[in-house]
Amino acid sequence: MTKFNQYMFGVDNFVFIDSDYNVYGIDDAQNATLNLQMEIAEYRGGANNDLQKTAVHTRNGELALTTGKCDIDLAKLLAGGSITSLGTSAASVITGSANGVNTLSGTSATICTGVTSVVFNSPTLVKTTDYYIKATDFAKIQVTRVEDGKAFGELTLTASGSATIDSERGIAIYTGAGAVSLTANEKAYVSVRSAINSINQKISFNNDKPTTLSAQFTVDFDGVRRQVKIPNVQPMGTMVGNSSSEFQIQEMTMKVYNSEVLNEIASMVLQG
């Protein structure tokens, strides 16, 4: 009688394949579980209402995957949307009128006209974020860094002068004559971006829905390979989160449905 090695440990590789036969490998899968449990229908009767008959039906058909991989293509596969690829660039002001400032609230736009330019005294320290600027008086502003909610001390502006709005990152504004004629409680914003050396992609979660994929995962342990193939997997989105002391882990649950061509939900092969 052939002896089978029934011990399996870990998951070594996981891949998705789209309708165009593009392969997306997830080689750091933390967990891969195919749930094919079936519902049990029970018939009870007799004096004690004991179980008399059972029938199995309706397979659950779910695939669960967790991974620490941060990949924008994977996010699009699982949640839909569209990807925009942008180029690399030096640190820059990315939003605003010619002077780099836009109105957030208010109608007179005195902050925009009072500030003539935004400059980086320390470009290597700049991080991508927004700055909200509130006029608190005719020549005074309060600046809040949106990234972490840090509010800097109130600044008094002068005509044709300069003021540092983020001393930690060397970001300053230069002012014109209008800087001493601000409208109190008006708000504006400045958006800055750090230098981009390699990655610059944006995914928009819009009306593009995730499409059906194929999936397979492989376990190699103690000289035995187990390979599970799933013809039809329907992604249902993704959840991404980080704790204060752990790496990011994405958790995903996907529906699995029958392949009419193969007449199967999944297959598993053991080789050794």
pLDDT tens digits, 170-204: 999 999 999 999 999 999 999 999 999 988 888 89
**For the residues 55-62, what does the mean pLDDT come to?**
92
Statement: residue 127 has pLDDT above 60: yes
Q: Are residues 182 and 160 in the same domain?
A: yes
Q: Which among 170, 193, 216 is the end of a domain?
A: 193
pLDDT tens sequence across 196-221: 998 888 889 999 999 999 999 999 99
Amino acid letter, residue 162: S
**Would you give the distance in Å from CA 80 to the centre of its chain?**
12
- Six-digit token string for 155: 């600044």
Strands (DSSP E) found in 121-222: 129-137, 140-145, 150-151, 155-156, 162-166, 171-175, 187-193, 201-204, 213-221
Which residues, in sequence order, are bridge partners of residue 172?
Answer: 119, 164
Is 211 a domain residue? yes
DSSP string, 200-217: -EEEE--SPPPPPEEEEE
Candidate from 102-106, 161-165, 227-231, 236-240 with smallest mean pLDDT: 236-240
Interstrand relation of 224-234 and 249-256 (parallel, antiparallel or unpaired): antiparallel
The mean pLDDT value for 16-29 works out to: 90
Q: How far is CA 182 from CA 35, 114, 117, 141, 155, in A?
A: 63, 7, 16, 9, 13
* Residue that terminates a domain, selected from 168, 193, 218: 193
Instruction: Assess if residue 39 is contained within a domain.
Output: no
Q: CA-based angle 55:61:65, to the nearest 5?
A: 145
Does some domain include residue 45? no
Domain that holds residue 111: 92-193
Looking at per-residue pLDDT, the higher value among 163 and 97 belongs to 163
β-bridge partners, 43 = 53
Same domain membership, residue 173 and residue 265: no
Lowest mean pLDDT among 46-50, 142-146, 150-154, 201-205: 201-205
Same domain for 253 and 123: no
Cβ pair 189, 102 in contact under 8 A: yes
Asked which of 150, 166, 193 is the last residue of a domain, the reply is 193
Total number of domains constituting the chain: 2
* pLDDT mean across residues, the chain: 92
Same domain, 106 and 164: yes
